[in-house]
Amino acid sequence: MTDDQSGIKPPEDIPPISAEDLVGGEADPSAVEERRYPSTIGGAFYLLVLLVVGAGLVVVITGEWRLGIRIMGGSLLGAALIRLLLRARDAGMLAVRHKLLDAFVLIVLGVALIFLAGSIPDQPGF
């Protein structure tokens, strides 16, 4: 049985519609707009956090590992603050679970990185 016989249209013949744009099972033509990348302000902040973590990795590679780790920890703390400030629909990739759980995990990881970068003693010969 082919697609023509069953009456099922191939996916490329169906325009993409977000579930948020569906109203009563039908697409609202006024709500359809061109997709932006990133599509939420949280997505933009997520990319910014990734950029800062990448910069921290570059600092670590250049030899200033404590500073690089602190930069990464600071970016996680910044992500936690942004997650607390943004609504769930605007948080984008920063939203994984509930707002408080996301912020708690980011704060714990950020503080742990900053604490460990300051508490690990220098090793002789390195």
Q: Which residues of the chain have pLDDT under 50?
A: 1, 3
Dist. CA 92–CA 96, nearest whole Å: 9
Q: Can you give the pLDDT at residue 42? A: 82
Can you give the pTM of this predicted structure? 0.66
Closest-CA residue to 82 (of 113, 50, 114): 50
Annotated domain spans of the chain: 41-119
| Burial annotation 5-20 (CB, 10 A radius, 16+ → b, else e) | eeeeeeeeeeeeeeee
